[in-house]
Structure 1
Amino acid sequence: MTTTHTDRIPDPAQSPERERLPVLPLLALTTAAFMGILTEALPAGVLPEMAASLSVSESAAGQTLTVYAIATGLSAIPVVAGTASWPRRRLLLTAVLTFAVANLVTAISDSYPLTMAFRLFAGVAAAVVWAGLVGYARRLAPPRLQGRAIAMTMAGVPLALSLGIPLGTFLGDLFGWRLTFGLAALISALLMVWVRLSVPEFPGRPRGEREPILAALRLPGVTAVLFTVAAYVLAHNILYTYIAAFLDANGMDAQRDVVLLVFGIASVVSIFVTGALVDQRLRLLTIAGSGLFLVAAGMLTVLAGEPFTLYLAIILWGLGWGGATTLLQTAVTDAGGERGQALLVTTWNSSMAGGGAVGGLMLSMFGPQSFPWGAVLLMIPAVVVVIGARTHAFPAERPGLEGPVYTQ
């Protein structure tokens, strides 16, 4: 595709009259994030019925989530590099169209290989969405509100997990799993219209200005942020992926839904607090969030047998985790720009997959009580890095954002 010349595409964030957040376009980006998570995780809520319809085992049906996550992680760097010069809205519309087609094919397909192929395509589209949303949000907002714009955009992630997946599961029980995927396809199609009407076009990076994405690792602060991402996400997913086994081992099997609801509410509270303060207090919030998660994991190592302390730990965990997406994405973009975003997508999804794998090994070798110990061992160095990386990765004052910004 050709790159649209910047003179023909005004940048709203550079206009002096733009002192407020453009809510409608940002909500369209929020919905894109929502659909990225919903498309990925929706099979989890209807796995037995989906497996039966496709004539495969539940384990094989579960790989529809695995192939999506792997495709997202592996494709982030090459796809972002290959589409760096594409106009941004056109690229986002292409990704959302892929969600729509993949969900529609999943809704009507009786072929397991065909379903898996389109799940893979959807995972690649998710890499495009995750790598581009933060840059888009920053371009839409004035510099002093860019952190808040990122928080609003990324709120689609916890909303999908806390509302979208349970609702999809409920509808699947009522009307069948295929209708659920059909509705996801319809929402994606409507989202395309919304994006086209409300989100302005921005240029990609001019071809002559491309830089290797991996070169961002040499920028001050990027490696420290990525290490924090890896430790944070790995620790979270070891606990969260196997939370049912952990709760069962502590006599809380009858309260799984309540525990997850409490975690979800705490995470949403954290999202709102982060959104309100991230532009002025990124360092403080990151130290507080990682510290709360460490304290929660420490409590779960020895106090999970008591319902009160377990719920308290779950609340602290949710408060520590909910804002992590916004904080870490803001930090890596401040340090490494949009190339840093591509590295974060790869690191984040690899750590998600690693959490499931490492947690499975820990479960088979040491039992479910080992999960919080693993989280503690991961979060101690993460907290040390966050506190120590005060110059570039997590500075007290965020760097200025003057001048034109190109998204990749």
Structure 2
Amino acid sequence: MTGFTAILTETLPAGLLPHMAAGLDVSESLAGQTVTVYAVGSLLAAIPLTLYTQGWRRKPTLLVAIVGFLIFNCVTAVSTSYALTLVARFMGGVAAGLGWGIIAGYARRMVVAPLRGKALAIAMVGTPLALSIGVPLGAMLGTTLGWRMAFGLMSITTLILIGWVLWQVPDFPGQPAEQRLSIARVFRTPGVRTVLVTLFAWITAHNILYTYIAPVAALSGVQGRLDLVLLGFGVAALVGIWVTGVLIDRALRPLVLVSLTVFAAVSLAFGLFAASPVATIAATILWGLSFGGAATQLQTALADAAGDGVDLANAMLTTTWNGAIAAGGMVGGVMLDHLGAGSLAWAVLAPTLLALVIATRARRHAFKPGPRAFD
């Protein structure tokens, strides 16, 4: 639920842009920067805060992050100042950076070693769900209740989450000083850099297409039912994460390679059959299926490689992921402006194939063949 809250808080404004722009008396492009500053907050905060809180008990640390969502969503809901809203969104991103830095390690510590992959899959199920419903939900709430009420409802949801954590979630100690690892040591751990580079290429490719799915969909004439197209993506993504949860402890490497291969085929389909509504819808569903488990697959591979440095490694993942979001948006924007929507699918191919080649070659430390080893 923490991951769901973080992602939904990040994506919600994208469906509220006209309403937020009117309410804050700014243009829609400026209202869109509320998403950007949130990502920047996560990117900048994840590693420093994870380092600083290594010794803290895990439950209070998680609660600090969730309370951050509560406070800054409340500020966003009542703010009439664009500048204050940007500050609140940035600080919300900081809270997300802290939360992402501990989720993976926390989930893995709740279960015995053979169940760690499944535990991580369950912990991450909120990510594709929030990614798939964030924008449509924002649009619906903005129209029916207003954008401020949308953020108010997020705050109420966060209060429920705080109660659940206090009641049900077990606590664990932080790392003793003598066991804490430096960021440099974790970064040099065999396999960590390989997973991070694979992640950056994969998520950059995904966001080149996902950020600009509306103009891509317009090529086939399905832009009028984009909400249903994205719903198909979201449902397929949930199937993908379910499959990942079932298979990840036995077949992590095949899952990664198949997911990347399917995504490469999807980008080809978008490129070759851009004018076909059937091809667009089918490709979007396959895309969701291949991407649904990506976060869990990459986090599991990174956690396996990092060992005791899992929290720091996950903070690096957060930073890399948000950097890839920014890179995908920037590359896609340049391609769209200069070469048109038809170029985006082809732009996706290069980073996708790069990720596939790296993952295929990484057999020793990052994406090992066979069942995963347990401590």
Equivalent residues in 2 for 1:54-203 (5 A)?
Answer: 54-203=24-173
1:193-230 deviation line (CA, Å, top 9, x unaligned): 11011111111111232222132221111111111100
Aligned residues: 372
- Aligned counterparts, 1:8-407, within 5 A: 31-336=1-306, 337-397=310-370, 400-402=373-375
Q: Give the CA deviation at 1:164.
A: 4.7
Helix, strand or coil at the partner of 2:116: helix
Code of the aligned partner of 2:204: L
- TM (norm. structure 2) is 0.96
Letter in 1 for 2:213: I
Tell me how far apart the structure 1 counterparts of residues 149 and 221 of structure 2 sit (CA, whole Å): 36
Check whether the contact 2:221–2:277 (CA below 8 A) recurs between aligned residues: no
Deviation for aligned residue 1:166 = 2.6
Distance apart, 1:158 and its partner CA: 1.5
Shift of 1:255: 3.0
Q: Give the distance between the partners of 2:218 and 2:139, measured in 1 at CA.
A: 22
- RMSD over equivalenced CA pairs, Å: 1.4
Using the aligned pairs only, state the percent identity: 46
After TM superposition, give the deviation of residue 144 of structure 1 in Å: 1.0
In the TM superposition, what is the alpha-carbon distance from 1:341 to its structure 2 partner? 1.2
Question: Residue 311 of structure 1: CA displacement?
Answer: 2.3
Describe the superposition over 1:352-403 as per-residue Cα deviations: whole angstroms up to 9, x where unpaired. 111111111111121111111111111112111111111110002455442x
Give how far 1:308 is off: 2.4
AA partner of residue 141 (structure 2): L
Contact 1:214 1:343 in 2 (8 A): no
AA partner of residue 376 (structure 1) = L
Does the aligned pair in 2 maintain the 1:39–1:184 contact within 8 Å? yes
Query: Following TM superposition, by how much is the alpha carbon of 1:165 offset from its aligned partner in structure 2, in angstroms?
Result: 4.2
How far 1:108 sits from its partner (Å)?
0.9
1:80 & 1:151 partners in 2: Cα distance? 21
Distance 1:347 1:161 in 2: 18
The alignment partner of 2:275 has SS state of coil
Q: What is the one-letter code of the residue matched to 1:275?
A: G
CA distance in 2: counterparts of 1:257 and 1:203, whole angstroms:
44
The alignment partner of 1:280 has SS state of helix
Name 1:19's counterpart in structure 2: none
C-alpha displacement at 1:33, in angstroms? 1.0
Q: Which range moves more in the overlay, 136-145 or 234-243? A: 136-145
**1:28 aligns to what?**
none
Q: Normalising by structure 1, what TM-score?
A: 0.88
Matched residue of 1:395: which SS? coil
Structure 1: which amino acid aligns with 2:335?
M
Contact 1:334 1:398 in 2 (8 A): no
Separation in 2 of the partners of 1:107 and 1:343?
A: 30
1:275-324 C-alpha deviation (Å, 9 max, x unpaired): 11111111111111111101111121112222222222222211111110
Residue-by-residue CA offset, 1:66-100 (whole Å, 9 max, x unaligned): 00001101211111111111111101100100100
In the alignment, is the contact (CA less than 8 A) between 2:14 and 2:138 conserved in 1? Answer: no
What CA distance in whole angstroms lies between the structure 2 residues aligned with 1:399 and 1:311? 35
Gaps of 5+ in 2: none
- Aligned amino acid, residue 343 of structure 1: M
Q: Measured at CA, do residues 322 and 126 of structure 1 come closer, stay the same or move farther in structure 2, by a change above 3 Å?
A: same
CA contact (8 A) 2:12 2:135 kept: yes
Which position in structure 2 is the counterpart of 1:10?
none
Q: Could you tell which deviates more after superposition, 166-175 or 84-93?
A: 166-175
Specify every segment of 5 or more residues in structure 1 that has no aligned partner in the other structure, as ranges: 1-30, 403-408
Contact 1:46 1:172 (C-alpha < 8 Å) held by counterparts:
yes
Q: Is the 8 A contact 2:241 2:293 kept in 1?
A: yes
